[in-house]
Structure 1
Amino acid sequence: MFATMSVQVSPTTLLALMERLRETGSAIDPAEAVDAAIRLWLAAPSGAPPAAPRGYQWKTLFLPEGTWLRMAYRGDHEYAIVEGDHIMYKGRAISPNQFAGGYADSVRNAWQDISIRMPGEKNWKIADARRRELARAAATPVAPATPTAAAAAAATPAASSSAAPMSAAQPAPRDTTPGQGWTEPERRKYRFRLEDVAFD
């Protein structure tokens, strides 16, 4: 018998390990599996180049390996996980659309219905919210690289304002003539009241 020590493992990693052991039907204890994985890692050649990140590319959103997907439908939840370059659900590789539609037995919008939890995170977030955050981050302007560029821009505000295009398209003026049955001055967005149109 040998002495043991505790090593902290993230809950996501431990759950993924236990799920893998359950799927493969292995009777090995999770602690033994962790010990074997560490020994295998130590035996690997140290000069090997780092492996490319694995994960699933969902349009503009990259889901790294270990990402959990959750589909909620009628008060119940179903889960899938990214393993390698695939989303695995009940032992088979599927797409996010197949996961959302197959679990609900109807056509669903996977972006709106699937929640995602990336490795190391504690909270779930709707896939569409993650996609919008990524788009906003990509659209954020980059600050000037040098302080001299910012100082030069601040020193010449008149030149920069004169360089702005003055030919911006002006919207056409609103038609303010009253519609049939309209007796009040025009103060609304539309020329007709709903009741005048609906009950003609």
Structure 2
Amino acid sequence: MNARQDDFVPPHAIHLLRTFLRQTRSTLSPQEAVTRAINEWIERERSAETSPRGYQWKQLFLPEGTDVRMVSDGKSHYAKVVGDKILLRQHAVSPREMTIAIAGDGRNAWRDLWLLLPGEQYWINAARLRAQQNKELEKLPVSQADALTSAAKAMSQALNAAVLLIEHVDYQTTTVLDRRLPKNRRKYDMLEDIH
């Protein structure tokens, strides 16, 4: 690296990079390694910006902006998903903590919480949304690894069945031939020359 390019990279970092490249016998030049590192960092930052924010409630994901409602004693109480938290009265809570704060212990968050997802018009019960999501997940194709494992298992079973079938046919063929040999025939079944 020349002096102008070194201005933005601390000298100890350049030394560490050169040492690492030499020790690992990398074919990259220090400039190529720095360029690659910068590109990878930019990609990670971009993907972090595009990944959805929200609250992960067991297997249910509530995207940022989801409204959460609970009715207790005829009164509606509201919370909102902001970032990766559910905020109830400016305090971060879990769904269970929300039901306890509103109605005390003994409530079921899945049954008692209603959700209004961003862009939706209608509230949906959390338990119902979870059930719908589970049905959709069951419809998804299996991963490639799962598909290959299933295919290999099916092929193994088919080969085993084919081997058993071949063994059975071989046995039947041998048995039929043995029955036709003279030693296994009854005397009156044999055609004898009549003189």
Give the TM-score normalised by the residue count of structure 2: 0.47
Structure index of larger Rg: 2
